[in-house]
Structure 1
Amino acid sequence: MRAIVRESGNVRVSDLPDPEIKEPTDAVVRVVLAAVCGTDLWGYRSGEAILPGPRAGHEFLGVIEDIGKDVAGLRRGDVVLAPFWYSDGTCDACQDGLSTSCRSGGMWGGENDGGQGEAVRVPFADANLTRLPLTVGDERLPALLTLTDVMATGTHGVRAAAVRQGSTVAVVGDGAVGLCAVLAARRAGAEQIILLGSHQSRLSVGAGFGATSIVSERGAEAGARVRELTNGRGAHCVVECVGVQSSIDTALDVVRDGGSIAMIGAPHFTINDVSPIFLRNLTLSGGLTPVREVAPTLLADVLSGDLDPSPVFDMTVDLDGIPDAYQAMADRTAIKALARL
């Protein structure tokens, strides 16, 4: 098969062995749609990928081509959705609803098959693949693809930050996850949703998703502007969607005392002094999204058309165009790329 591989911070299309059934609980999925994630760009920009290994991509949906003899709930030809982190579905962590802590689990890409390729071997198929009652030509598939990561992650952040009816929410970051967090905050009943970002095309999507205010300032000026918008108090809830030092510093600046911060950006920062957090009675939460638990709560609304996160995709490529998509996202000329395989 053909698939994207990473080499020293670059990506290219390469020929790789076709996936095969190795365990009786496996399935082989032919990829129909995949995406490029902001997490993929860490390795692209710096050469230091989140996961070691050459394979790339952790967001995909497709059609089951082959299936192990012990897979009970799926059939060849089913259109299926995969979470970005696979799990066995049986361990204590999985039973507790924290599939991302599964001892047998992992992320697509690295040494595993990546979603940015023609096919993927999926272990523990019954635990990881969600059957979709659709055909491969259905126009809702791009919206459903967001449930593999970004929409589920935005929802996880909103829930972790305890957003509720009437909350004031600040979303730090205007990437796909931040935009989906805006959408999730609106669905949770937030009264005021402040999106912090600086890219006009992204901010326009955020406004369409429900942001009531846009803050393009950075650093201390961003904090001052958020306090101005919140009568001097700051936000009840902050969803931090970037994962760098400046974004966590901004989150701590814009949250009001007694408020909560959900950290859902892949962390590349340190918190050296917890005293201000303690003295201000702040709650820090978030973490790696258990998509297997979150996505099913969103599925019916996407299928019905009540939820459509697909506007985060503003670039569409084929497999050969994925390297260009990485560059476009790194240059901030695209929010998120959709790959049709």
Structure 2
Amino acid sequence: MSRKLRIVQWATGSMGKTCLRAVLDSDAFELVGLFVYSDAKAGLDAGEIARRPATGVRATSSIDEILALDADVVLHCPMLPSPYEAQDDEVRRLLESGKNVISINNYFHPEALGRAYAEELESSARKAGVTLAGVGVNPGWAAEQVAAAAAGVCLRLDRVSVSEVVDCSSIPNPAYVFGALGMGADPADVDLVDGPMARTFTRMFSQPVAALAEKLGLSLDAIEPDHALTLAPHEMQVRAGIIAAGRVAATTWRVHGLVAGERRITHAVNWTMDTELPAFAGRPHWEVIIEGQPGLRLAMDLTEGPDEGARTRPEQYAVAGMVLGAIRKVCAAPPGLYRG
């Protein structure tokens, strides 16, 4: 029987806590460290934070304490940063301390952000003989795995479009909803070309476009952002607070991959505070549309499990499932950037 892999959980927001619980509930892993940003959580037992029995592992806000641990892998699950590269230094330190790193925010296909950028990350991983991976459902799965597999039925492939609609109305964290996601903002204050959110999401979603192009054998000339906002038609009460009429109620972060000036791949992520807004009503969670011979349309929805009504959403379980499923693969992979 394989030995238990030693896990460090980094951050305990909604996604980090879901991964933490999954690690504690599994017989395949041993939690050896827990990093938190909150002073209120530092010193607490991991079990108390996860609503699980005591583990003997105390949370710390000291990166030096985490670096000193003997661990196989760090599950890096902080809130999405701005600028997008803000967490690179800590990730490189984790790698150079001899720990594999799995991120849910970045590093899915870092070559899309520049060869020099990817080589710097790869150097830190190779130096310590470990691996860096970006793992998730989008990026990480919807385009790179599902759309790539679906395109295999085509004799001629003209265009691939992947879109996601995410209901954000039940997210409780105001800092995340009104900060990282940009909901409730005055549209006049949102720069969809060179603003901080536009730069972050262009860099994030360029990665699945580039990864899908590589799998399809397409050589992209350029990656082109094409973002949009949807405004609240009336005041909206959501779990995180109130969105005034005329303020941002949904964002569309859309990136195109161009070949000879033609948009051959489109990847769009729509975060909305109301799935009944006209732009999103009736749409599935994911939709893959392939134009070619033959064409194909694939619609997918995540559904509630047996613990329906729990505060943890299906999307969170899905990401945690992808992360835990990747741990042994990443730990066994050649040093450098993960090629899953």
**TM-score calculated relative to the size of structure 1:** 0.32
**TM-score calculated relative to the size of structure 2:** 0.32
